[in-house]
Amino acid sequence: MIEIFSRANRFRGPVRAVILDWGGTAVDFGSFGNIEPIIEGFRENWVQIAAEQAREGIGLSTWDHIGAILRQESVLETWGDVYGAPPSEYDIRKLLMSVENFSANAAGAHAQLVPGLIETVSFLREEGIRIGSCSSRGFQALDALSEAAKELGYSPDSMVCSTDVPGGRPFPWMCYQNAINLETYPLESIVKIGDTVPDIQEGLNARVWTVAVTKTSGELGMSIEETEQAETAELRNQLSRLEKRFLDAGAHFVMEGIWDCPKIIQQINDLLARGERP
């Protein structure tokens, strides 16, 4: 039987679907699979950039990510030293092709599941919550990444990438397409989880509950080994600064990693039961 929902009444839960970002959220602790192809793509075009420069704009579609990097004064100076002129649209399209090729080839090597993902997926399944996913990368990279992740035990019910919709983050289209694929509504019954500011903006623009992760995120940019070896106080300070950044961006909740998802879902269920909306 088709369930009919009327906007005349407040939806009172529970959560019906969760949309997970890929790199830095569900797989690839630290989101290195998003950064390495960017660095290699620039290098193939004779411009050297550092990892911290490559992380500028992480979470955006590849085209917009490249644009954010090229707006950095230090990168523009390097580009000018090599080419003697600012990058043209033709240059950016060449970069895009290079980055997408490296991304598709390297995606499978960055499919390691984030700790706690399998347990969280089991919890969601037990609760009858559908699992969507979205990625800032193109379909070739997502296909390779999802196939590798499937072999490791993770296979969401829906997969959407930025090239499947009119525009990537911060537009809400990937969330909307997931909702359609999962046949899930109203929007307040959906939770979006990601690891970057564009992820947060995407969720807010889609009017869904929006949760950010810090410790595994591409914005922190540390591997699991690096977090284990870091000084406790310094890591705590970095996580606190990132949590503030995400809250200032509008995230409804912030957690260290996907392992905290079950308790966040319960908090959202409590809010929904009171008739609250994101």
pLDDT in tens, 172-203: 999 999 999 999 999 999 999 999 999 999 99
- Sign of the Cα torsion 2, 161, 60, 56 reads positive
pLDDT range class, residue 99, cuts 50, 70, 90: very high
Residue ranges of the chain that CATH labels 1.10.150.240:
33-109
The average confidence (pLDDT) of the chain is 94
Is the full-model pTM beyond 0.85?
Answer: yes
pLDDT range class, residue 221, cuts 50, 70, 90: very high
Given this structure, which CATH class describes domain 17-31+112-273? alpha beta
Residue ranges of the chain that CATH labels 3.40.50.1000:
17-31+112-273
According to CATH, the topology of domain 33-109 is DNA polymerase; domain 1 (1.10.150)
At 71-92, the pLDDT tens digits run: 999 999 999 999 999 999 999 9
Angle ∠(248,253,254) on CA atoms, nearest 5: 75
Residue 30: per-residue pLDDT: 96
Residue 57: per-residue pLDDT: 92
At 105-150, the pLDDT tens digits run: 888 889 999 999 999 999 999 999 999 999 998 888 999 999 999 9
